[in-house]
Amino acid sequence: MNRKRFWGGEMTPDKEAAYETLYQCLKTIAQLMAPNAPFFGDRLYRDLVGETVHLSEWPKADEALIDKNLERQMYLAQQATSTILSLRKRAEKNVRQPLQKAVIPTPDLETAEALKHVEELIRSEVNVKELVIVPAEKSEIRLVKKIKPQFKVLGKKVGAQMKAVAAEINAMTQDQIAQMEAEGTYTLHDTPYTLVAEDVEILTEDMPGWLVANNGILTVALDIELTDELIEEGVARELVNRIQNLRKSSGLEITDRIRVEIEDQETIHNAVLHCQEYIAAQVLATDIRLMANGEWPTAIDINGQNVNIKIEKA
C-alpha cells in the first residue's frame, strides 16, 4: 500500500517519512533476528548501517512512540477490510472489480471517528468508491438483526428454564438486540438471568442488492450492484494487471515506455475507450490502440474471454 509513496517524484516530507519508517523497521528487525539468523541479519544491518549487527546494542522499546489511538484505528481498519473482502468473496466479486459503496453503521461516535481517520486506507484496500461511516442511529442503512440462543452454552447455565429463556431471546426487539450488542450483556425480564455474549448469536439479514456481515463490534453492508461504468473500470484494471505481467515477462525495465495494440472485442471496447488515460498511466504506455486485425504474439484472459494483445518498447 506504500508503493506509491516510495516510487517516483521528488523527496516530499511524506516520502521522506515513509523511507525513515521503513529504515527504522528494517534496522530493528535485523537486530531482533540476528541471534537466530546471524548471517542474513548481519548482511541486512550492514547494508543499512555499515557496521556489524553483532556489536550493536539490543533494541529497546520506546514507549513514548506508542500511540494507542492509532493502534485502535488500525485494528478497526483491519476488521473492516477483512469483513468487506469476505463479503466480496461471498458475492464472487474480484477485488480488481470496483464496487460503489460500503456502509459501516458504528455502535458509537468514538468508533466512527476512529474509522474516519483510516477511511482512505480501507477504501483503497477493498476497492470501493464510497465508504460511509456513521453512528448506527444516523445510518441511511436500516439493518435488521436477529438473535438466536446458543443452546449448548445456555443449557448448562439455565437448565430447566431453557425453553422460557429461549422464547424470551427469540422475542427480543431491535432496540434490545442493539443494547445487547453495545453493552455485551442483557437482563431478561421474565426469567432471572443476564445474557452474556457467549449465550447468543446475533445475525444481520442481507438487503436487496447488499450483503451484510458482522465482525466484532463492526457491522458492514456492501453494495454489490454493478453499473456499466463500474464494469468498464473493472475490465480496465484487469487489462492493467495483464499488461504489467507482460512487461515483466518481456524483460522490460520498470521505467520503459511502451506501445500497446489490443484486439478490438465487444467485451473490452468501451473499457479501453473510456479508461484509456488510466490504463496508459498505469502501464507507462505512450499509445494504446484497438485493432481489428494485426499480428498477435500473445493472448490474455480477461474475465474468461481470450483477448489478443501486442506490446513493444516505445
- DSSP string covering 21-57: HHHHHHHHHHHHHTTTSHHHHHHHHHHHHSS-GGGSP
C-alpha cell at 60: 529497546
Cα–Cα distance for residue pair 42/48, rounded to 1 Å: 10
| Residues 97 and 198 occupy one common structural domain | no
* pLDDT confidence tier of residue 295, bands split at 50, 70 and 90: confident
> pLDDT at position 105, please?
87
- Are residues 221 and 135 located together in one domain of the fold? yes
CA distance 70 to 85: 22
Predicted TM-score (pTM) of this structure: 0.74
Segment 265-286 mean pLDDT = 94
Residue 144 has pLDDT above 80, yes or no: no
Angle at 277 between CA 274 and CA 282, to 5 degrees: 120
Verify that 128 and 161 share a domain, yes or no: no
Number of domains in the chain: 4
Coil/strand/helix, residue 295: coil
Q: Give the range of the structural domain holding residue 72, as residue numbers without chain letter.
A: 68-140+208-225
**Bridge partners of residue 48, in order along the sequence:** none
pLDDT at 122 over 80: yes
80 plus 152 within the same structural domain: no
Residue 98: is its pLDDT beyond 70?
yes
Per-residue confidence at 137, pLDDT binned at 50, 70, 90? low
Length of the chain: 314
Q: Is the pLDDT of residue 190 over 90?
A: no
Tell me, yes or no, whether 128 and 216 share the same domain. Answer: yes
pLDDT at 287: 93
303 and 169 assigned to the same domain: no
Residues 125 and 220 in one domain: yes
pLDDT in tens, 51-87: 999 999 999 999 999 999 999 999 999 999 999 999 9
Query: Residue 294: what pLDDT?
Result: 80
| In a shared domain, residues 195 and 217 | no
Answer yes or no: do 19 and 46 share one domain: yes
Residue 199 DSSP code: G
First-to-last C-alpha distance (Å) of the chain: 29
